[in-house]
Amino acid sequence: MGATRLRGEILSYDTTTGTGLISGDDGARYDFVSAALQSPAVPAAGVRVDFVPEGSVATQILILAGGPTPTGVAGFATATAAPGSGFDFKTALLSFEGRLRRSHFWIGFLILFGANVVLGWIPLIGLIVWLASIWGHVAISVKRLHDMGKTGWYVVAPYVASIALCIIGVVMMFGGMAANGFSEDYYEGNPAAALALMGPAMGLFGLALLAGFVFLLWIGLVDSQKGENRFGPNPKGE
């Protein structure tokens, strides 16, 4: 008799290590390596597969046509995925559901940054790209927080902090001018007085910018939470 075959769905696949995780239709989970693939296709999360289980390891894996996959029917690469990266544009930049690993977060960030640099100088088009990129930035940030086991609502923290610091800085600056009773002409002719008044406010404006940068480094450098969490399986299969 031949080996018993099962069907299931790929939960995650790491193109760097060539390892992944399959959720079998029997309710169990199976590790696999790229050498076990018997189809000339690109494995990705959501792809349906047929395989032979050996303990907790999947072997003789065949990728099935017609299953949900970000790389096209039967897993063949299309324009929706960056070659060799497993990066799915639609899921990464539009959806707020699930988790996103660090490398895919930075791919998404660089795509959005590059689009703004290249197209930002074009009237109207640049504005549209900038507005659209806000959605993409929030989407990749929320999923990166999910991957860390954090609520996506943390994404508002740097914006709230920056706005609050800027408001305080403006109030300090104009409040100081009103309290001293000096006009704008006075400060234009007295650099030392202007620096004493503007210095604290400029410091707060600098902190407002720093808040966003620190948040970016935090979500971009912290590793994925091991295993499955309430937002889904680990995208690295760990």
218 pLDDT band, cuts 50/70/90, is very high
89 inside domain: yes
- Are residues 89 and 48 located together in one domain of the fold? no
The verdict on 169 and 141 lying in the same domain is: no
Tell me the per-residue pLDDT of 135-179, one tens digit each, with 9 for 90 and over: 989 999 999 999 999 998 999 888 888 888 888 877 777 766 666
Domain boundary among 24, 45, 75: 75
* Tens digits of residue pLDDT in 21-66: 999 998 899 999 988 988 767 788 888 899 999 999 999 998 886 4
Which domain does 63 fall in, by range? Answer: 6-75
Question: Is 214 a domain residue?
Answer: yes
Examine residue 176 and state whether it is found in any structural domain, yes or no. yes
Domain match, 141 and 110 both? yes
According to DSSP H, which parts of 33-124 are helical?
A: 89-94, 102-119
**Of 128, 148, 168, which closes a domain?**
148
Which tokens in the block code for residue 171? Answer: 């109030």
pLDDT at 190 over 70: no
Please, where are the H alpha helices in the chain?
A: 89-94, 102-119, 125-147, 157-180, 184-188, 191-221
Q: What is the mean pLDDT of residues 110-131?
A: 86
Q: Which long-range contacts (CB under 8 A, 24 or more apart) does 33-40 make?
A: 36/60, 36/61, 37/61, 37/63, 38/62, 39/63, 39/74, 39/75
